[in-house]
Chain A
Amino acid sequence: MVIDKWLISKTKKKMKKIIYSLLFILPLFWVSCDKIEDDEKLVYLKGITTETTPITETNSIQRVLLEDYTGWKCVNCPRAAAKATELIGTYGEQLVVMAVHSTAFASPLASNNNVDFRTEYGEKWAVDFGCSSLPAGLINRTKVGGAYTIGDANWDTQIQSTISTKEHLMDINLGAVYKESYNKILVSTENVFLKDVSYSTQINVVVLESGIVGVQLNSNTDYGTTPKIEDYVFNHVLRKNGLIGYPLSDSAVSKGTTVSTNYLIDVDTDIQDISKCTVVVFVTNSSTGEVIQVNQIHLSE
């Protein structure tokens, strides 16, 4: 009896020892192994590249983005386009104009050779910002009087006001080149934050083509023949394959930070003349969508 008790207590002691030592070691059992599946080993980064091109566009001024929502069937749009051209003369470098062909006004017709300047993102913006009746303009995507859209009659005063009140928070320095071997446009950006920015930002890189000749419906002889202009020259036309809403900074950035990024944009097959293209880059506030800064660079050969 006594011997049995002694054996039992000895075994118990041994078990205790083993359990105690295992308890000590158990926390170390978070040893793990990551297993990456085949399709995740190399992740294709659409649009982003590590290649760079020299930065040539570095003028440090606060610019304004004027988006002209238009369409070839929009009879009053020639007036807005002419206004935009006039404003470029007034404001020069401070103004960047982007013609967003969108809505039913820009849909193609067989009689017009199915010419289609619409873009996926242009359509979405038209809906998001309430551009249903054209021409409609957006200035830095900022609301004025409760709405984003501004009539072309008020563009001048609005741009004036924006220029005088808008804080110069950052600069977008650019370099862009057409890479013939890839048939892509390489854009290098250098985003310099001149002040502390407390929100996250996104960057948008698009290609505009100017000098495209086509048909535009018109109702005012001041701007051309009616009811349509056969050889109308479309400028600043927003082209496809732009990079929209790419993350630039994901949290607050302090003054003096520079974020450098590089992008590759597939050349839109519809582009007629690459030498008449410019690259427009605009940085927005991730939550409000407001444009903080914009810049453009003509494509070098």
Chain B
Amino acid sequence: MKRIIFALLAIVLSCGVLSAQENKSGANLPTVSVKTLDGKTIKASEFSNDGKPFVVCFWATWCKPCMMELNAMAELYENWQKETGIKIYAVSIDDARTCPKVKPLVSASGWTYDVILDQNSELKRALGVNNPPHTFLVNGKGEIVWQHVGYAPGDEDNLIEVFKKVVKGEDVK
């Protein structure tokens, strides 16, 4: 009986997922409270870039592809900001075990992102993130318009291309 229900649910959901690719109206960032590296509490719905689009990247100190992604983007970040006015929120899901390493790591690596701490994975769960790396692109109105999981060298070039399209107001899927 339970298997039947689950199969039914899986079918219904896959229809949902398929239709997702076609007519999804962007969801907003949830009102989940997270902390900045300075210790201030901020709601994810308050992330902003003065009306311009921005990027939200989930990572962890123990996640190799995440580190590769953020390091690769770090080199290009300054140029990107000049070109497009991009802003990247790097949300760390490091828990109490590895969280103390976040600040020294960010400083040592010389990252200038807005680093956010999501110690108990509240924001990760609210956004339906399975495993990092998971990147979201949010438009000027605060709607999520694009998502990507995983990282392969070269993905950062793809990211900035999509970002430029969103800045122009184009549709991205």
Say if the two chains contact directly (CB < 8 Å): no
Residues of B within 8 A of A (CB): none
